[in-house]
Amino acid sequence: MLQRQLIRFRQTGKRLLAGSWLPRTVQHGRGMQTGMKTDEFLNSGSAVYLESMLEHWRKDPNSVHSSWSSYFKDMHSDGGPSAIFEKDERVLQPGNSRTTALQLEKLEKAFNDHMSVQTLIRYYQEHGHKVADIDPLRQDQRITRYLPELDPAHYSLGKSELDTTFALPVTTCIGGSEKVLSLREIIRRLQNAYCGTVGVQYMFIPRRDQCDWIRSKFETPDAAKLTAADKKLILKRLIHAGAFEDFISKKWPNEKKFGLEGLESLIPALDAIIDTSRAAGVESFVMGMAHRGRLNVIANICQKPLEQLFAQFMHLKAADSGSGDVKYHLGLSQQFINDATNLPVKVTLCANPSHLETVDPVAQGKTKAEQFYMGDKKGEKVMSVLVHGDAAFPGQGVVYETFHLSALPEYSCHGTIHIVTNNQLGFTTNPLVARSSEYCTDLAQVVNAPVFHVNANDPEAVHYVAQVAALWRATFHKDVVIDLIGFRRNGHNELDEPRFTQPGMYKIIDQMDPVTVSYTKKLIDNGVIDAHYAAEETSKYIKRCAESYRTAQGITAVRHRDWLDSEWENWPPTSCQPFNTGVDEGILHRIGTVFSEIPKDFNIHQGTKRILENRQKLLQKRVADWAMGEALAFGSLLCEGIHVRLSGQDVERGTFSHRHHVLHDQERDKETYSPLANIRRGQAEYTVCNSSLSEYGVLGFELGFSITDPHALVLWEAQFGDFSNTAQPVIDQLISSGEDKWVRQAGIVLLLPHGYEGMGPEHSSARVERCLQLCSDDPYDMLLDCSREAVLTQLRNTNWQVMNLTTPANLFHALRRQVKLPFRKPLVIMTPKSLLRKPEAQSSFDEFLPSSEFKRIYPDKTASKHSDTIKRVVFCSGKLFYELDAERTKAGLEKDIALIRIEQICPFPHDLIKEQLKLYPSAQIVWAQEEHKNAGAWTYIQPRLDTLLGHGMNDERSVQYIGRAVSAATATGNKKRHESEQAKVIQEVMTWL
């Protein structure tokens, strides 16, 4: 009805006013889309607004502007409220005594003023943060920045309108229970909500309910009001933060500590998050952060015994093995009683290298794993908190990758609280040359996470924002960002001079009191505390530090294990029981049947149907190809109650269309079926999930998942092996060296497709040489004992395993052994591409039975029968074996050449290789590879074989190299050249002097 009235008004009243009746906000393009036509306006916002005014007037005539009240009353007197619309055409006719030009002019002004006020409110909500007092240094004078859209005069609202009352729109909470406010009061409340020491960015969020929720937390009068007890608690926590920094600075003035001075409010912020979240039901907090303020967090948030922390400053010897790490990289896991709720809480701080944000996805993966094992499907018991640096947040790509995992089904942690410790400086780099965005946190908008910019020198605002962030996470289970804006009182580390490059900034900083001092003075002035309170709290904390320092002086050695961030229950096993990686044939048959059968009432793709039919044929022949061997490993572990998680790009189908662990109904597009998840009742859960197009973030996530519980098989597959190069920081800093630095075992498996098939430099090599370079086994530390115990000891003493497997059976045993071992070591497997369907690369079911086991090498059984005639012993790995074997057979050289496959390259199988060398005492020794000489396993193999020959056997022979020449590129992109190079390698193996 109102729409009809507006249309008629357009046809009649518009002529009276010659078009000038439209509100100025529309005439000048403000508050509406540019170029919006009159018709569009009349059919949209105006109708809603007019109807809103009518509803307010009906309930209370005094709740609307007097001009509106007069208009509605006049219309009402001529037939009731319906007459306003029923008789609108008559009322608005030219010459009607009730509708004079003066009345219309008043009505137009009232309409314009109300619309202007709405626009003003919305602009405060969208842009108020731009003039908020969020920088304690006030370097860019944000507090004095002028935005004309926040000035009432911009909307022709002058002093005469300041005391005029306006009805408030439903999209604001500034009125509380009041429906109308004067313009003066509206502006005051908007400035309090959006232009104080908190700048709220949220209007980009597309959901109205979430925006309304945030408005209720910041616009509602007195929403952030704190009690005296709250303020005293905040001060107490600030005192602890500041006193800790003072204590360690005085005791160890020449030590790097990456202190928190200038951002001490981080401590009460984290405490508020834990208090609020614990009250909401969260029991476990997984934290990731870099080095800035880490020691303070360890002491005051994680509640690590201070004597253990202080001992790290004393340069003591280590009581256990490992390299250890600097104190501000260490992780830990602590359980204690939360003061606010008197409930137990667990806080884990993940160990992190200097590679800044690398820990982010690791902490997320660990959080996801804890949620999984607790059955916490909504993230109500376990949550993550990530603390970032302001330069690293936009600068490190892994932050973006981590954000993009936040809503993916198998990666979501159901909301993370991010805190940016914003000291407005990146080492020595000014933000103006460090990022392109206005805020360092703009990245968070990619997942519609609200951002709360807060002045770190206002501890009460920081405390409130932290509470709101925790409640947001508990309510919506989505990410939220706190931009804690402060400064860095000292240099990047305490031995650095920041005034070299930031003289102006540090002139300001030098004049500023610590926040503990300024907040103490504020509470004294307000009568919340007396002068003795702060001194007494400081004295108690310093006394505690001093007592812990005296205890630390009695410590003679540090234990790396005291800093373990992933403590496993009942681990390691009390005794090392013999284990078998083979399984009964009945289990193999059951898994193979499920893996190859077509589900009932399922519309399967014809290509997939053929693959399943081929699997059925293999099953009948008791033979497994690569996909079947992998499935038998997964399925058998699932039947034993072991959770299996396979993640990576396109792993559900498999990049090479060989896996098909998730079948898709061709008619019902969203319906899927996972065979290995349906082997039998009571089996463990199988998680197979395609990841986002990310390597760095996803591998970090899977590592975090794997370190949470040793009783699981967690695998990450690179789509092509070389894709692992973008995950190299995780491999270098965390996986290969994690146990040495942080005593943190991990059983993660990396599946890296590898093999030279002419697919060019980026799709050929998984850079096995890089993996072998990271191996910690000594080429001169030879294992000559073939006993099971000696082999396990060798593996236990090595940082990880690197394999290039050639049979499905060996893959099966390698994966099962990964879970059966009495310790956990990362495993890197160079997996094949062309061998996935090669008939020669299949395994009989006999090789999967309990009598079988993992083969570190495959001897040449044929050649061993003719050891006296063998002229050349060729060691190799991977698919090259099959090519060499085919050529040897073709040339009839079985009695001349022995081909021995090294399946487990690291740890190097000295004992088995020695046995093979003894079989052929006069034969030439060769290492053959398809990779270039400066790549592949050659540089790893050569010193080990030569050492074994020279010192292990007193053999004067040395190993010779056959393979491609050195190259900067990993492979050629020319198919013909590839074929020529590969043929040359094969031919050289078959030819000798």
- pLDDT given for residue 104 in this prediction: 78
- pLDDT given for residue 110 in this prediction: 85
- Quote the pTM value: 0.91
Query: Residues 6 or more apart from 635 whose CB is under 8 A from it?
Result: 587, 591, 594, 595, 676, 679
pLDDT tier at 107, thresholds 50, 70, 90? confident
With 80 as the cut, is the pLDDT of residue 63 above it?
no
DSSP 733: I
What's the average model confidence in pLDDT over 755-783? 94
What's the average model confidence in pLDDT over 495-499? 90
Cα separation, 949 vs 870, in Å, equals 18
Write the pLDDT tens digit of every residue in 64-99. Answer: 766 566 666 655 554 433 343 343 444 444 445 455
667, two tokens: 């008619």
Partnered with residue 485 across adjacent β-strands are 422, 455
Write the pLDDT tens digit of every residue in 396-454. Answer: 999 999 999 999 999 999 999 999 999 999 989 988 888 999 999 999 999 999 999 99
Query: In CATH, what number does 228-563 get?
Result: 3.40.50.970
Write the pLDDT tens digit of every residue in 565-589. Answer: 999 988 888 766 778 999 999 999 9
Cα separation, 735 vs 750, in Å, equals 10
With 50 as the cut, is the pLDDT of residue 19 above it?
no
Q: 266-280, 356-370, 560-574: which has the minimum mean pLDDT?
A: 560-574
The helix/strand/coil state of 469 is helix
∠293-295-296 over CA atoms, to 5°?
Answer: 65
Write the pLDDT tens digit of every residue in 646-659. Answer: 999 999 999 999 99
User: 228-563 with 858-989: one CATH topology?
Assistant: yes
What's the average model confidence in pLDDT over 848-864? 95
Cα separation, 945 vs 814, in Å, equals 24
916, two tokens: 């093979």
- CA dihedral for 38, 43, 44, 45, sign (positive or negative): positive
Residue with tokens 């202080």: 310
Give the phi and the psi of residue 285 in degrees, each rounded to 5.
-120, 125
- pLDDT given for residue 11 in this prediction: 42
What percentage of the chain exceeds 70 in pLDDT? 90
- pLDDT given for residue 952 in this prediction: 83
DSSP 705: H
Cα separation, 194 vs 98, in Å, equals 44
Spatial contact of 286 and 365, defined as CB atoms under 8 Å apart: no
Spatial contact of 453 and 439, defined as CB atoms under 8 Å apart: yes
* Start-to-end C-alpha separation, the chain: 102
∠351-353-355 over CA atoms, to 5°?
Answer: 135
Cα separation, 303 vs 333, in Å, equals 10
∠740-742-744 over CA atoms, to 5°?
Answer: 85
Write the pLDDT tens digit of every residue in 366-404. Answer: 999 999 999 999 999 999 999 999 999 999 999 999 999
Cα separation, 71 vs 50, in Å, equals 12
Class of residue 713 by CB neighbours under 10 A (exposed 0-12, middle 13-18, buried 19+): buried
Cα separation, 494 vs 295, in Å, equals 14
Partnered with residue 927 across adjacent β-strands are 875, 961
**Where do the domains of the chain lie?**
2-218, 228-563, 584-642+656-683, 858-989
Write the pLDDT tens digit of every residue in 238-259. Answer: 999 999 999 999 999 999 999 9
Q: Which helix (H) or strand (E) holds 416?
A: strand 416-422
What's the average model confidence in pLDDT over 183-200? 97
Write the pLDDT tens digit of every residue in 627-639. Answer: 999 999 999 999 9
- pLDDT given for residue 141 in this prediction: 55
Cα separation, 882 vs 626, in Å, equals 15
- pLDDT given for residue 247 in this prediction: 97
Write the pLDDT tens digit of every residue in 983-992. Answer: 999 999 999 7
- pLDDT given for residue 42 in this prediction: 37
User: Cα–Cα distances in Å, from 177 out to 181, 194, 220?
Assistant: 11, 20, 9
* 993 compared with 590, residue with greater pLDDT: 590
pLDDT tier at 225, thresholds 50, 70, 90? very high
With 70 as the cut, is the pLDDT of residue 695 above it?
yes
Query: In CATH, what number does 858-989 get?
Result: 3.40.50.11610
- CA dihedral for 671, 675, 677, 681, sign (positive or negative): positive
What's the average model confidence in pLDDT over 47-54? 62
